[in-house]
Structure 1
Amino acid sequence: MPNLPPSSPPAPADSSHPASAAPRNEYTVDELARVSDTTVRNVRAYQDRGLLAPPERRGRVGVYDDTHVSRLKLINHLLTRGYTLANIQDLIKAVDEGHDLRSILGLETAIGGRWSRERPRKYSLVELMQMFGDKASPGALAKAVELGLLERNGLSFVSGNPTALAAGATMAKEGIPLADLLDAVSIARPHFNAVAKALVDLVVRQLDRYEADALPPPADVPALVDAIWRLRPLASVLVESEMNRALEEASGDYLGGRVAAIMEKKLGHPAQGEVAKRAAPKKGKGKK
């Protein structure tokens, strides 16, 4: 079927419409699938799910137009972003109810988008051996993959956080056994997950004033997206601050005591800080 010159208003279904009506692009189902980079089977399936409007009928032929092309391109775009057809159906329903799709996707990105700006990086096995030396054993690599620190990509590996990987390599070169380092990550992860959930709940709680199964009113979405983007870096600052505090306390408790013990053994008397620490009454303990 030949394509007519494009125009914005679609012609009505009545084939007897006057010739003065603005022309439009028209497609058979095969042509529609080709220009929309999909298949006829997908077109039929999307129609059955209500994602795509039915074509105009001209006798036994279904005629599609550019509105169908736009909808199919939108569906393809959302599928590549990881949405399911059920998700897309909800989004399209929201658009039909007056929501702006860009605002909805902006809300989804603000809540569920990556918090790190680091780009994943691919490493060959040779590169990992250069970074970690002989510590990059098959067992260590398998453990790193299990923890999600590395992902296999054929004969290579991909790290979603190259900075953390480089930090681990430096610690390994300083003598920390890689197995112990990976065990520390495994032990600490549940605690980080709990902290992350608490902070994400603070951000997502901005949605609590709306019904759980409904989107915010269209007029509220842009301001809500802006508020969530402002809260995200503040949550990261809070995590970093608390982590620094915890590291200072832990290093003071463990490393400080170890150094004091060494000085006592070498010098024959406790370090001044350790003397004061021993002399100070223990918290929560009174005199007997």
Structure 2
Amino acid sequence: MELAEVSGVSVRNIRVYQDRGLLPPPEVRGRTGWYSEEHLVRLNLISRLLDRGYTFATISELLLAASRGLKVEHVLAGKPRGGRLRTLKRAATITITELRKTLNASDRAIGLSQKLGLLVKDGAGFAVRNPDLLEGAEVLVKGGSDIDILLDRWDRVQADLADVAASFVSIITDKYFDENLPNLSEKSVSELAELIHTVRPMAHDIVESAFADALDAEISRAIGEATKYYETGGDPTP
């Protein structure tokens, strides 16, 4: 089954859903992956949940609950969650006026958001590529953070992650090219692509786990510093 063609979901998004554990991998027969009707049903369900504003984490929990006997249809029968940004999750659009009002977004911030792929020009407004990030950014801005600083951090992280991705792919390409050049056949290229695709979810898990640990450690350090500052009456010295 050509799952992307039948479902209308891009191959890239199907792989993202698989990497996040939302969609089971295909049954492999020889060198070919075969998708079943169950995959199509699951994919349609994921699309419906995303349309209703649920995050990947929530969808994962719902699917896990469903595997243990809870009918996800009961959740779908309920009303979508309210709120202005929850509505944006369904509409997936925002105006320049809303950007300036909710995020204090300057022309530079809007331009950088487009560069990073968060916003895509759509008529007089913008299509929102990741509503969860938009919602999180609004919370930070309301807390006194500068949206430009957040976007600059994102820009820097994106460049760093490009290096991380290259390092994981090179685990295979460096050795494969050394051993196979100049006799790299079409079959060899296909095998190389399959190996790289196999590395993808593993690399994703490693980076996610390492970042989660580093973030937890940094949060604990920051809270500890704040506590010390409070206990010493604002004196940073022990």
Please say which structure displays the higher CA radius of gyration: 1
TM-score, structure 2 normalization: 0.49
